[in-house]
Amino acid sequence: MSRARFPRTARLLHQAEFRRVFQQAERSADSCFTVLARSNDAGAARLGLAISVRRAGNSVQRNRLKRIIRESFRRHREQLPAVDLVVMARPAAAAADAARLRASLERHWERLTQRCGSC
CATH code of the domain containing 77: 3.30.230.10
> Do the beta carbons of residue 37 and residue 83 sit within 8 Å?
yes
pLDDT value of position 56: 81
Residue 41 lies in a domain: yes
pTM above 0.75, yes or no: yes
Q: What is the mean pLDDT of residues 69-87?
A: 94
Q: Is residue 119 part of a domain?
A: no
The reply to whether 100 falls in a domain is yes
Does residue 5 have a pLDDT over 80? no
pLDDT bracket for residue 15 (50, 70, 90): very high
The residue range of the domain holding 89 is: 9-114
Evaluate whether residue 97 is within a structural domain. yes
Residue 3 located in a structural domain: no
Our count of domains for the chain comes to: 1
Q: Which residue has the higher pLDDT, 103 or 42?
A: 103
Quick one: pLDDT at residue 53? Answer: 87
Answer yes or no: is 56 within a domain. yes
